[in-house]
Structures are given as C-alpha cells and as structure tokens.
C-alpha cells in the first residue's frame, strides 16, 4: 500500500482507464485507488469508480477498513456515476442525479445513509473538479439528498424528515437499562438519555435493544450541555463505537427537541468525540446537518 499526501495533482495516474492500458506494472489490474477522508473524525475510504468498474464484496470492504492490516476506516464510500451502476439505476430519483454514494459499513454490510459520509463524498466531488461548488444532488439508498458545498469550509446536507415510530424500547448494558427513543433518520436509531457519557462503559459490543430491531440499529447515549446543546456517544451497527455519526446526531437532535417541546425551526449543537455538528429542523420537518468534511490522503492499495 502506498499513501501520498492528499493533493489534486496528476489525476490521470489514478484513473481506471489508465490502469487498463498501463503495462509498466504487471500487477496494475489488482491495484485500487483510494482517498481517505473524515467528517468530525468519522472516517472513510473513498473509492473513485466513476465508470462502475469495481466489484465490492464484504470481505474486501472489511479488509480496507481494518485499522491494523488495512487502510482503516468506519466505512467505504464508492464514488460512482448513477448511470454506471446497476443498483443505482433502480433507485427512486436515479434520473435526477449524476452520482451515487454506495456506502458500506466497516463489516461490509450495506447501509442506507451516512450523514458524515455524504458530506465527505460531496467534498471529494468538488475538490476533484467533478462538480462545481454549490448545490449537489447525491443518490443514496435512502433517496436523493441535497448537499450544499462551499469552495472550502463546512458542508450542509438536507437529511430529510425524521420518523418517530413510537415503539417502546429499552437499551440494556449489563445491569443497567434505559428507556430509548426510536428515531429513523435514514438509519434506525435508539436514543438514550444518560446522566454521564461514561455510564454505558466501553461500547465494544452492540448494546442490547429490546425489542430488537430487525436489522439492528445505531444506539446513541446523550447528555445535556446547555440550552439546545447536547453531547453524545454512539455505537454504530456493523462498525462499533465511532467518533461521530451524522444520522445519529440528527436522531439525537429530534429526540431532544421533542423532549424539550421545541417547535421546528430550532438549531441544536451536538458535540461528538470527534468534533461538533449542528442540526437544524426546518418548519417542514427536514433536518439540515452541518459540519466539516476533510480529505486527508490519497494512494493505491493492492488489498
């Protein structure tokens, strides 16, 4: 594996088309280009694949995300043109988008949406000159998301409205049990209010949720820091505890706002171990997630 500083130099070197005709390296067909990025330290391996040539499986994704034997990440973002991907072409909104965010959790499982990941995805499109700064429509398994990207600085994504099914659930860790608020923000979440963020202990294993979600869920533990200001920890399904979770921050904002009796139109600050996000609930219920998106390295790997 070769890792180079993230710059935007000789892009031709990193195109699949060039690899197909480059005979200088006998192993060129086995080399994968990647870019590493993060949003509030929720980190991702981005795989440029505009023409849909890559074939991903769970094993390859897990090896790329391995923090000791791979590149290391919370997930993989494959950057592919909507028209070039068989799955993308079947999704609602495909005709209105140019790019599909094929997101995989660190264990290789498919995910519907990733709030931090889509900001990093959009930052990559702008920094690589594939899209101009401004508004970008990105197709995900949770529908089309509108992302606003400045030339530099924070990125904002319209996450759509949240859903609160109202199911009575609880989260159990050891001898402790807490009532949980079920919130769907593209991914399923169980939001738990605790006295101290240390209360859940180490989140190496998935917390037990009762009754269980059919496909698992992210679990957020939340404390209040001030007026419309909270802090959280999260265990993400298929990953483990992460430094941040964008859909989780949105779920936490909604659960807290409902508990506070706050009407739509408010903005909450959500502190995560990897930084700070802000979430605004518009009058129409759509959630605007704003935070940093940073590209830190690029390279090639033969994993």
Q: One digit per residue, pLDDT tens: the chain, 303 residues?
A: 444 445 443 433 333 344 343 333 333 457 999 999 999 999 999 999 999 999 999 999 999 999 999 999 999 999 999 999 999 999 999 999 999 999 999 999 999 999 999 999 999 999 999 999 999 999 999 999 999 999 889 999 999 999 999 999 999 999 999 999 999 999 999 999 999 999 999 998 999 999 999 999 999 999 999 999 999 999 999 999 999 999 999 999 999 999 999 999 999 999 999 999 999 999 999 999 999 999 999 999 998
pTM of this prediction? Answer: 0.89
Is residue 65 part of the annotated active site? The answer reads no
The strand pairing partners of 143, in sequence order, are 140
* DSSP per residue, 202-213: --SSPPEEESPP
Q: How many residues would you count in the chain?
A: 303
Is residue 114 part of the annotated active site? The answer reads yes
CB 241 within 8 A of CB 229: no
Q: How far is CA 81 from CA 89, 171, 251, in A?
A: 10, 39, 29
Task: Determine the Cα–Cα distance for residues 42 and 218; give it in Å rounded to an integer.
Answer: 14
Task: Determine the Cα–Cα distance for residues 145 and 51; give it in Å rounded to an integer.
Answer: 21
- Active-site pick, 25, 65, 245, 250: 245
């Amino acid at each position: 594996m070769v890792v180079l500083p993230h710059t935007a130099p000789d892009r031709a070197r990193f195109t699949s088309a060039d690899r197909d005709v480059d005979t200088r390296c006998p192993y060129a067909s086995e080399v994968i280009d990647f870019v590493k990025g993060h949003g509030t330290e929720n980190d991702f391996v981005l795989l440029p694949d505009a023409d849909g040539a890559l074939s991903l499986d769970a094993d390859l994704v897990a090896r790329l995300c391995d923090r000791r034997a791979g590149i290391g990440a919370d997930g993989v973002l494959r950057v592919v043109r909507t028209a070039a991907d068989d799955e993308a072409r079947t999704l609602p909104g495909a005709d209105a988008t140019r790019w599909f965010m094929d997101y995989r959790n660190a264990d290789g499982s498919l995910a519907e949406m990733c709030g931090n990941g889509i900001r990093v995805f959009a930052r990559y499109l702008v920094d690589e000159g594939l899209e101009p700064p401004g508004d970008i429509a990105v197709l995900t398994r949770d529908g089309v998301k509108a992302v606003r990207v400045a030339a530099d600085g924070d990125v904002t994504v319209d996450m759509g409205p949240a859903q609160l099914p109202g199911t009575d659930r609880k989260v159990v860790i050891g001898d402790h049990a807490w009532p949980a608020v079920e919130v769907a923000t593209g991914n399923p979440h169980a939001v738990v209010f605790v006295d101290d963020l240390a209360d859940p202990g180490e989140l190496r294993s998935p917390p037990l949720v009762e009754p269980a979600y059919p496909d698992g869920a992210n679990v957020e533990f939340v404390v209040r820091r001030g007026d419309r200001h909270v802090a959280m920890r999260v265990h993400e399904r298929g990953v483990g505890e992460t430094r941040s979770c964008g859909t989780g921050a949105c779920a936490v904002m909604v659960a807290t706002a409902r508990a506070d009796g706050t009407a739509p139109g408010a903005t909450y600050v959500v502190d995560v171990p990897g930084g700070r996000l802000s979430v605004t609930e518009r009058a129409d219920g759509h959630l605007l997630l704003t935070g940093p998106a940073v590209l830190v390295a690029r390279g090639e790997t033969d994993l």
